[in-house]
Amino acid sequence: MERLQGVRVSRPRRHGAVLTALAALLLAPSALYGYKIKEFKPKPAKEYPAFQDFQNIILAASPRLTEEGVMELFDTKKLLAKQIMPVVVVIENNNDFAVRLHESEIYLVGSDGARIKSIPFDQVLLRISGRRDVSGSSTRPDVLIRQIGDRKMVEDFEHKAFGEKLVAPHDSDFGVVFFPLPDNGELAGSRLYIPEVYNISKDEPLMFFEFDLAKGK
């Protein structure tokens, strides 16, 4: 506040502008280096080393045991560090009827014969974000975004997770299934086991699928 020829003149304060500029500088690295959604297009199922062709359905798997392989799918290096192995599963349906497959019906069978269930993508997100308690996890995107704090990461994992696939006649699809990383980091003797692929037209299961997963590493 100054007096100019007997008149009080107020000069605008610049504190707000300075704080805004500082905030922008602090946020700039986050915006520049934030999570980036990776575009991924799978190969035809038979081009993967680990696959099975049966009943006019081809199921293939591509386990990711290296940082480079994981980074082709997701913009994070924390999966393997948290002992989580992503597996790309491709399904090609060459029948004249649609088929259904849910990720809960996809198992990793260890070299000791133990059947290992997959890890839901919401629990995967909570684990790599440092959450110790994942019992209260939710698949609702709005809840996950609040818990994880990164919208793009949540959207990417949700979009790529296998979930439930309804594959039309003479069509294909893919998704990522998450399993605990083997203790020794090796897949020798491990298999992918799918007990039920459903024929939607007749609402009945087809024969099971089981094939060596170590070929795909």
Give the pLDDT of residue 132. 56
Please, which pLDDT band fits residue 183 given cuts at 50, 70 and 90? confident
What pTM did the predictor assign? Answer: 0.80
> Rounded to an integer, what distance in angstroms lies between the CA atom of residue 138 and that of residue 178?
17
Across the range 12-40, mean pLDDT stands at 58
Give the pLDDT of residue 2. 52
Burial 65-77 (b: 16+ CB within 10 A, else e): beeebbeebbbbe
Name residue 131's amino acid.
Answer: R
pLDDT tens, residue by residue, 54-77? 999 999 999 999 999 999 999 999
> Rounded to an integer, what distance in angstroms lies between the CA atom of residue 28 and that of residue 35?
13
- For the domain made up of 35-216, the CATH class stated in words is mainly beta
Res. 23: pLDDT tops 50: no
pLDDT tens, residue by residue, 90-149? 999 999 999 999 999 999 999 889 999 999 999 999 898 876 555 555 667 677 777 777
